[in-house]
Amino acid sequence: MKRSLILALLVKKSINWLASLQERSFVGTESHLLTLFDLLKQMQEGSETGPDKRLLDLQRKRDEIDA
């Protein structure tokens, strides 16, 4: 339950940030969106609760870095 609440708050904060982009225009929008998508991907990958699945994900990341 606590993890769901934290995730909901982070999603709300992200949506508010995206809404604020419409209010102002600036050159860095693309890089901000790429950062947002990267953070969302990290949240999704880090939310796996099964230790076997998490270990496989970490080994895959290590293999990508080593390649």
- Write the pLDDT tens digit of every residue in 21-64: 766 655 566 788 888 888 888 787 767 667 888 788 889 889 99
* Residues 35-50 as b or e (16 or more Cβ within 10 Å = b): eeeeeeeeeeeeeeee
Taking the C-alpha atoms of residue 21 and residue 27, their distance in angstroms, rounded to an integer, is 11
What is the chain's Cα-based Rg?
Answer: 16
The model scores a pTM over 0.95: no
Q: What is the pLDDT of residue 63?
A: 94
Q: What is the pLDDT of residue 66?
A: 92
